[in-house]
């Protein structure tokens, strides 16, 4: 579905001098390398998390893949097209959804924006009604599609923005921070929708997000990018196994810790009765955990991976 080889993007910014004549006729430019020779492939039906700090090159990559930006050099093929040609047969197979841009008409109910997109994408009436009903049901927002957009909350608007972008049933979705700024309930609703939509229609999805738990819930594969270079491309499980050397032990206590309870000085732990949380190196769990449990009365023990955010921080620091 998507093939990228040796993709590079360099932005040029005009540098102003004190000489107006020079600025007009001999303008100088400062170059900024946004993407540095990156390559990857994404198969049909994959949902891939595209992760990196601000300015890493995530949005630039997605804009090139969707035809918004022209690459400086490299090979890009999406659905058999070169995206920047912006052929109608290509554009009607993709959708670019961002949490930072509104496409709905502010003063009108969302259903009117839906009808506008119906004409743009030449969707017949029967298909339009079918798609609207399915998407409204999945996102549970039938009661708000006839209200003026300006009267809705951010979470409600985002759900309707998603419907507006998916009416033509695209094969590829570029989701750029779709849950940014949303409260935990709206965020959970949209993440659940993305999962159900991808399962139902086998869509190919590239997702960027600063909420790592969102990515972990949705994607099995992640691409980490930093300063325009890909530093990891693979399964989340492999990322954790290769770059996380610790486990989190959570113990629910029956009674408070005795004064004689002690742990080695190099152990990281926190205690707030009834929970005792201890961080242990993976290789020491078998030997140390039994020693700890002999000193306490407990009702439950769980062993967890390090938070995905912490693992990714380690990878970025190493890069």
Q: What is the pLDDT of residues 246-269, one digit of tens each?
A: 889 999 999 888 877 777 777 788
Q: Show Cβ contacts of residue 270 under 8 Å, excluding neighbours closer than 6 positions.
A: 276, 277
Checking if the pLDDT of 82 tops 90, the result is yes
Residue 232: the pLDDT is 94
Q: What is the pLDDT of residue 310?
A: 85
Domains of the chain, each with CATH number or no CATH: 2-240 (3.40.50.300), 244-318 (3.30.70)
What is the pLDDT confidence band of residue 174, given thresholds at 50, 70 and 90? very high
What percent of the chain stands above pLDDT 90?
A: 59
Structure tokens, 128: 């339009």
User: Of the ranges 32-36, 99-103, 140-144, which one carries the lowest mean pLDDT score?
Assistant: 99-103
Q: What is the pLDDT of residue 283?
A: 84
User: What is the pLDDT confidence band of residue 148, given thresholds at 50, 70 and 90?
Assistant: very high
Weakest-pLDDT range from 73-82, 102-111, 253-262: 253-262
Q: What is the DSSP string of 14-42?
A: EE--S-HHHHHHS-EEEEEEEEEEEEEEE
Model confidence band, residue 176 (pLDDT cutoffs 50, 70, 90): very high
pLDDT band at 282 (very low <50, low <70, confident <90, very high): confident
Mean pLDDT of 4-21: 89
The beta-carbon contacts of 19-25 under 8 Å, at least 24 apart in sequence, are none
pLDDT band at 110 (very low <50, low <70, confident <90, very high): very high
Model pLDDT, residue 295: 84
Q: Which residue has the higher pLDDT, 224 or 280?
A: 224
Environment class of 158 (CB within 10 Å of its CB; exposed 0-12, middle 13-18, buried 19+): buried
Nearest to 67 by CA among 93, 46, 35, 103: 93
Mean pLDDT of 34-58: 94
d(CA 178, CA 100): 8
Q: Pseudo-torsion of CA 114, 174, 140, 151, nearest 10°?
A: -60
Provide the 8-state DSSP code for 306: P
pLDDT of residue 103: 87
If you average pLDDT over every residue of the chain, what do you get?
90
pLDDT on residue 96 = 94
Please give the structure tokens belonging to residue 188.
């959970």
């Amino acid at each position: 579905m998507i093939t990228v080889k040796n993709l590079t993007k360099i932005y040029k910014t005009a540098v102003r001098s004190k000489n107006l004549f020079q600025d007009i006729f001999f303008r100088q430019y400062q170059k900024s390398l946004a993407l540095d020779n990156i390559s990857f492939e994404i198969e049909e039906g994959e949902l891939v998390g595209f992760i990196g700090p601000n300015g890493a090159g995530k949005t630039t990559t997605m804009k090139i893949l969707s035809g918004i930006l022209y690459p400086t050099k490299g090979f890009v093929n999406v659905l058999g097209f070169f995206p920047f040609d912006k052929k109608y047969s290509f554009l009607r197979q993709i959708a670019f959804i961002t949490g930072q841009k509104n496409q709905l008409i502010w003063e009108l109910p969302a259903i009117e924006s839906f009808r506008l997109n119906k004409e743009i994408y030449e969707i017949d009436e029967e298909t339009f009604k079918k798609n609207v009903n399915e998407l409204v049901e999945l996102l549970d927002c039938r009661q708000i599609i006839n209200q003026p957009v300006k009267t809705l909350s951010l979470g409600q608007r985002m759900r309707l923005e998603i419907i507006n972008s998916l009416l033509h049933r695209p094969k590829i979705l570029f989701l750029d921070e779709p849950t940014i700024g949303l409260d935990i309930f709206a965020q959970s609703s949209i993440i659940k929708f993305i999962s159900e939509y991808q399962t139902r229609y086998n869509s190919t999805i590239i997702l960027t997000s600063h909420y790592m738990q969102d990515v972990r819930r949705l994607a099995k594969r992640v691409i980490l990018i930093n300063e325009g270079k890909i530093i990891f491309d693979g399964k989340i499980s492999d990322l954790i196994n290769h770059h996380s050397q610790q486990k989190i032990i959570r113990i629910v206590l029956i009674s408070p810790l005795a004064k004689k309870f002690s742990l080695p000085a190099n152990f990281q732990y926190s205690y707030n009765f009834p929970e005792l949380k201890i961080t242990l190196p993976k290789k020491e769990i078998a030997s140390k955990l039994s020693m700890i449990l002999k000193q306490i009365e407990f009702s439950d023990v769980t062993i967890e991976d390090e938070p995905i955010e912490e693992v990714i921080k380690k990878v970025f620091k190493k890069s």
